[in-house]
Amino acid sequence: MTDVHAAWLPAEAFRSIGTRNVLLAADGGGLVGTVAAEVAHAGDTFGGSLRRGTGGDGADLVLSVGAAGGEGFELSRAGGVTTVRGDGPAGLLYGLFHVVRLGEAAFGADRSPERHQPAMTRRMVDHWDNVDVHPVMGQVERGYAGGSVFWRDGAARGDLARVRAYARLLAACGVNALAVNNVNVHATEAHLLTDRLGDVAAIAETLRPYGIRTHLSVSFAAPVTLGGLPSADPLLPEVRHWWEAATRRVYDAIPDFGGYVVKADSEGQPGPFAYGRTHAEGANLLADALAPHGGVVHWRAFVYNHRQDWRDRSTDRARAAHDHFVPLDGRFRDNAILQVKYGPMDFQPREPVSPLIAAMPSTRVAVEVQATQEYTGQQRHVCYLGPLWSDVLGFGPWGTDGTTVAGIAAVGGGLVAVSNVGDDPFWTGHPLAQANLYAFGRLAWDPRLDPGAVLDEWIGLTFPGQSPRDALHAVMDGSWRTYERYTAPLGVGFMVRPGHHYGPDVDGYEYTPWGTYHFADRDGIGVDRSRATGTGFTGQYPPPWRDVYESVELCPDELLLFFHHVPYGHLLHSGSTVIQHIYDTHFAGVEEVAAMRERWASVAGSVDPALHGRVADLLDEQLRSAQEWCDQVNSYFHRKSGVPDARGRHVY
Ligand code: GCV
């Protein structure tokens, strides 16, 4: 793997363990074997030792496994000995990585027993991997890190060493499930379910030693396209039998298979609507096939009309998921998980939390975020998403009383991220985009973690013994808000180039069928989603948000244009007008990127030169792009509104 640069967990990150005498008081292979191999390798590198058996004399670190099973662990330190007791083998593995994270701090002062337990049962990454190179989308849809880690030229990679290294990275941040292919299932990937199941089994075998279960995206039309049946109607017995048999074969090949992911009746993917059936009937078909084997189906709620008429202002894409799915609450099987994007539109840098998440009390809901930065700089811009996800997870749909989004996902289907990894030497194209993947895993494990502290963990694990910590915080901590400043204002979203979604194009989607409009005219901008005069979307929220968002006065500034159409002179809570806010934030965003670039330049020499160079080049591009955003957005609104910048700066 000489062409691969380290992500988190270079050898140095294991120094604190590798210099210690470690007793592993647990038998067996599997995940315990993985722990043994990790510790032995660290000991070989740094001179420590690993003993297996009982009797802890002379050990600095004692690792053991309880009988209960599970992913939690207990950590303590007394009498010069640090002890990790996993609830089960998986708990021991996560406990080991926790000790790695702590570094020397794990071997310092005494610690009374601490319990660590994941908040979410399933912490999953989805790969939008096309296996083949798609003529428009490339090998990985919305992939900004090169090609696939799993396949080359449409065929399985013989050498899965890189997948094994990936599994290790994922386990170290707590991820325990992975879907290997795109939710848009084309002709080639469809076959992973049947005659190319061997490819999936090989990946599953590679992920298993790190506690990661493999999932597969499948096409709802598979009984027709693969099985030769005349119909995929979920209520037909022959269709049910087809799925049962196909699923049985999957479990014969992969006994710990996690389940299916399905995008149905969405952006051209087939689904139950073709047969006049509901999405609950569709999801339950697959859930029933999986149930005897303990699998789950992740059924995506991203269902909307992508052929709407831009002239029709009563149709609101933001409403679609709630309109489709709420009537079905309580009708999904227990092993059918409704996978809902965090916002009602599509992974914008700023959206309100999707009201659907709180509207399915009798359905298991998983929340989907996007580590691959489709609308947040495409892994060319630094945009640390930890703070965005932390806000989403901490959001209380019923206000400060009642549960949070994290609480709903925890009792439901967990958290899912679209992965940002590819075969790029730095894993994620932009080396700093790795932090998003790491933060995803950590926030799925514990959504209450402070995203700044999570970033600090990532820095410590990625650059151990090096000193760019302050510079990385300076560049990354506020990068999501910086990105927001120089792109679409006040929650209105999009304004990106149609198709590839990179760079500004204010009206790019304005007269298209995609339902992503800003409605700017000479007098004002924004989408009226109020109940009083707009699309009624605010009514999909419970109180207090239905009233907060309904009111122009109460609506938070950052979401104002998502919910309301207002004049350019409208006064924000910040004291600025909408138009002046647009000018000010866009100029500020560019200045912030320039400062990020300078700060990064100052640490040349204290990080790997190849990595430094890659980030420096990308910051050049980020500055160019931010300037372009600024110039286009400011010029557009100056021309539309005729209102000059109060500070007289140059607008084109
Ligand atoms: C996989 C957005 C993206 C699509 C993606 C889709 C989805 O529309 O642009 O590339 O398709 O979301 O989440 O299904």
In ligand 1, the atom with minimum distance to the C-alpha of 263 is: 14
Record the tokens describing residue 132, joined without a space.
């083949």
Helix residue ranges, H only, 53-177: 89-102, 161-173
CB 346 less than 6 A from any atom of ligand 1: yes
Record the tokens describing residue 524, joined without a space.
């004002």
**Beta bridge partner(s), residue 81:** 78
Query: Cα of 104 to ligand 1 centre, how many Å?
Result: 43
pLDDT at 158: 87
Query: Is the Cα torsion angle 61, 64, 68, 72 positive or negative in sign?
Result: positive
Phi, psi of 110 (to 5 degrees): -60, 150
Among the options 44, 267, 450, 598, which is catalytic? 267
pLDDT at 4: 67
Residue 349 Rama label (left phi>0; alpha psi -120 to 50; beta): alpha
The neighbour count for residue 598, using CB atoms within 10 Å, is 12
Helices 451-462 and 469-476 pack at an angle, to 10 degrees, of 140
pLDDT at 451: 98
> What is the rounded (10 degree) CA torsion for 279, 139, 243, 298?
-40
Question: Is the CB of residue 231 less than 8 Å from the CB of residue 274?
Answer: no
Residue whose C-alpha is closest to residue 440's, from 360, 370, 531:
370
Query: Cα of 263 to ligand 1 centre, how many Å?
Result: 10
The neighbour count for residue 382, using CB atoms within 10 Å, is 29
What is the secondary structure of 16-57 as a DSSP string? HHHTSEEEEE---SHHHHHHHHHHHHHHHHHS-EEEESS--T
* One-letter amino acid for residue 207 of the chain: L
CB 126 less than 6 A from any atom of ligand 1: no
Query: Cα of 481 to ligand 1 centre, how many Å?
Result: 23
For 571, half-sphere exposure in the C-beta direction (CA atoms, 13 angstrom radius) is: 2
User: Catalytic: 374?
Assistant: yes
Ranges of beta strands (E only) in 166-212 are: 177-179
Question: Is the CB of residue 350 less than 8 Å from the CB of residue 399?
Answer: no
The neighbour count for residue 604, using CB atoms within 10 Å, is 13
Record the tokens describing residue 387, joined without a space.
């703070």
In ligand 1, the atom with minimum distance to the C-alpha of 137 is: 10
Helix residue ranges, H only, 226-348: 237-253, 279-290, 320-325
Ranges of beta strands (E only) in 386-488 are: 414-418
* One-letter amino acid for residue 303 of the chain: V
Question: Is the CB of residue 559 less than 8 Å from the CB of residue 395?
Answer: no
Cα 166 from chain centroid (whole Å): 16
In ligand 1, the atom with minimum distance to the C-alpha of 300 is: 14
> What is the rounded (10 degree) CA torsion for 168, 171, 173, 175?
130
pLDDT at 3: 55
Question: Is the CB of residue 117 less than 8 Å from the CB of residue 94?
Answer: no
Ligand 1 pocket test: pick from 128, 317, 373, 418 the residue with the most ligand atoms within 8 Å of its Cβ: 128
User: Which stretches of the chain score pLDDT less than 50?
Assistant: 1-2
CB 142 less than 6 A from any atom of ligand 1: yes
Query: Cα of 405 to ligand 1 centre, how many Å?
Result: 22
Question: Is the CB of residue 117 less than 8 Å from the CB of residue 99?
Answer: no
What is the secondary structure of 438-462 as a DSSP string? HHHHHHHH-TTS-HHHHHHHHHHHH
Ligand 1 pocket test: pick from 126, 139, 140, 142 the residue with the most ligand atoms within 8 Å of its Cβ: 142
Q: Which residue has the tokens 């999904």?
A: 332
Query: Cα of 282 to ligand 1 centre, how many Å?
Result: 20
Ligand 1 pocket test: pick from 129, 261, 346 the residue with the most ligand atoms within 8 Å of its Cβ: 346
In ligand 1, the atom with minimum distance to the C-alpha of 184 is: 1
What is the maximum span of the chain, computed from C-alpha positions, in angstroms? 80
d(CA 52, CA 64): 10
Specify the DSSP class assigned to residue 504.
B
CB 184 less than 6 A from any atom of ligand 1: yes
pLDDT at 1: 37
Q: Does residue 94 sit in helix, strand or coil? A: helix
CB 404 less than 6 A from any atom of ligand 1: no
User: Catalytic: 141?
Assistant: no
Query: Cα of 128 to ligand 1 centre, how many Å?
Result: 9
Q: What is the CA radius of gyration of the chain?
A: 25
d(CA 34, CA 300): 34
Among the options 38, 374, 528, 645, which is catalytic? 374
User: Catalytic: 346?
Assistant: yes
CB 127 less than 6 A from any atom of ligand 1: no
Among the options 87, 141, 316, 346, which is catalytic? 346
CB 263 less than 6 A from any atom of ligand 1: yes
Record the tokens describing residue 290, joined without a space.
């999986």
CB 302 less than 6 A from any atom of ligand 1: yes
d(CA 103, CA 97): 10
Helix (H) or strand (E) holding 92: helix 89-102
Record the tokens describing residue 54, joined without a space.
């009982």
Q: pLDDT, tens digit, for every residue of 432-459? A: 999 999 999 999 999 999 999 999 999 9
CB 183 less than 6 A from any atom of ligand 1: yes
CB 128 less than 6 A from any atom of ligand 1: yes
Residue closest by Cα to atom 8 of ligand 1: 346
pLDDT at 102: 97
Q: pLDDT, tens digit, for every residue of 296-349? A: 999 999 999 999 999 999 999 999 999 999 999 999 999 999 999 999 999 999
